Amino acid sequence: MFVGQHHHTLDPKKRLVIPSKFRPFFPSEKAVYVTFKTVEYSQLTTNFLTLYPPDAWYKQASLVQEATANREEAEWYQRKITSDTEYCTIDAQWRVIIPLRLINSAELKRDIMIIGMGNRIEVWDAPKWQAVAEWLNQQATTLSRAIYPKS
């Protein structure tokens, strides 16, 4: 399971190194599906990347596919998410070359934060993550109610 946060840098070739603590959770197929995401918080919008190991991506894609049955809005979301996703291999040094269009969409600079999200990994521009992390710390009690509602 992917947990924790790791400060890393993108090298000049735009390669991302998978943190050593995350490596045991990858199957024999050393690859990821990389997709661009946008999130809104505190009246702000920010972009980041999500990396799915193949099994997690297949589950995600299946959920999206099932939701599209006779639902035009869901089909539009499917177009968005699949067109913003790329299959990327992981080399022997555990590096992933992230396509430039995705790096630009997520507005990643050199310093990045790699965040474990259970079945997937998020990659944020480090200063953006710092702002989000501060907001998360302030909102933790309120946000936890979405999972642990009061009885």
Give kind and range of the element (H or E) at residue 140.
helix 126-144
**pLDDT of res. 105:** 94
Residue 151 has pLDDT above 50, yes or no: no
**pLDDT of res. 125:** 96
- Name the band, by pLDDT with cuts 50, 70 and 90, for residue 149: confident
- Name the band, by pLDDT with cuts 50, 70 and 90, for residue 81: confident
- Name the band, by pLDDT with cuts 50, 70 and 90, for residue 92: very high
Is 39 inside a domain boundary? Answer: yes
Is 107 inside a domain boundary? Answer: yes
Whole-prediction pTM value? 0.88
* Residue 73 belongs to domain with CATH number: 3.40.1550.20
Q: Quick one: average pLDDT of 43-71?
A: 88
Q: Considering its fold, how many domains does the chain have in total?
A: 1
Range of the domain at 40: 5-144
CA atoms within 13 A on the CB side of 82: 14
